[in-house]
Amino acid sequence: MEMEMERVETNLIVRISGDLDLHTVPALRKQIEARLDREVGIKNLILNLKGVDFVDSAGIGFIIGRYKRISKHGGQLRVVNIKESINKVFKLSGVLKIADIFSDEAEALQAV
Amino acid sequence: MSKNRAKLEIKGISDNIGLARVTVASFAAQLDFTLSEIEEIKVATSEAVSNAIIHGYGEGEGSIQITLELQGEELIIIVEDYGVGIEDIEQACEPDYTTADRMGLGLVFIDSFMDQVDIESQLEQGTKIKMVKSPEKSKKKAK
């Protein structure tokens, strides 16, 4: 599991590679929460899942958890690059109803 | 009619979830599943093993046994733990049954992605989840 974060104005872009499951989610959650705690002015979260081939309910829980935090302060969750292999769990879980989906980061940033 | 059987015993820790789902996917590939169906089997396996780790053993440790069988066109996956058991299986199957950050979706995914699911649990004895799935292609042929 690899993750990198980049701040672009009021947006935090999080690029993730690997599987999102019970094993990987705790470390990801910790790092993102630490960044959100530390930095003032982050409004929107852009999750780039280009390198993610597998997501289960722990991964969905992780995404919904971050949505709850961001939306409390009027921010939006944007998800980029959902592969076909993980699209079904997104649909079934209802994440597609709460997150805005984009095909690339530039599009997600422009939607501000 | 294909027949095959395999058993995998893992320590009930999250490090082994990936191993469990890759092993099950590899075994399942003996049948004519599509890639999308294999993904569904991987999610169901991940959920069953995660349930065993979280609900079966909590903070403690124990082993999880995964039995795989091919019977004709059916893949049978049995995930068994020897932990605390589930008091109310019906309640655990509700979508809003929430534990930690998993949003209670685990059993919903299993139910949606597999053809048949049976859960047996006894307090202080453990839980056994049996999941069955056949390739859509073989179901169409049978019609």
CATH 3.40.50.620 fits A2-111, yes or no: no
* Secondary structure in 3-state letters for chain B: CCEEEEEEEEECCHHHHHHHHHHHHHHHCCCCCCHHHHHHHHHHHHHHHHHHHHHHHCCCCCEEEEEEEEECCEEEEEEEECCCCCCCHHHHCCCCCCCCCCCCCHHHHHHHHCCEEEEEEECCCEEEEEEEECCHHHHHHHC
Q: Closest by alpha carbon to B78, among B9, B2, B3?
A: B9
**Among the ranges given (A5-9, A26-30, B53-57, B71-75), the one the predictor scored with the smallest mean pLDDT:** B53-57
Residue B143 has pLDDT above 80, yes or no: no
Judged by CB atoms closer than 8 Å, whether chains meet at B53 and A22 is answered as: yes
For this structure, is B51 an active site residue? yes
Summarize pLDDT for A29-62 with one digit per residue, the tens: 999 999 999 999 999 999 999 999 999 999 999 9
Predicted TM-score (pTM) of this structure: 0.93
Q: Closest by alpha carbon to B30, among B4, B55, B9, B11?
A: B4
Instruction: Find the closest chain B residue to A29 by CA distance.
Output: B101
Give me the mean pLDDT over the B44-53 stretch: 95
For this structure, is B47 an active site residue? yes
Residue B5 has pLDDT above 70, yes or no: yes
Single-letter amino acid, residue B47: E
Domain ranges in chain A are 2-111
CA gyration radius for chain A?
13
Residue B103 has pLDDT above 60, yes or no: no
Residue B90 has pLDDT above 80, yes or no: no
Dist CA A84 CA B35 (whole Å): 10
Of B14, B40, B42, the CB nearest to A22: B14
Mutate to test the interface with B, among A56, A86, A90 (most CBs of B within 10 A): A56
Task: State percent of chain B over pLDDT 90.
Answer: 70
Of A21, A22, A60, the CB nearest to B103: A60
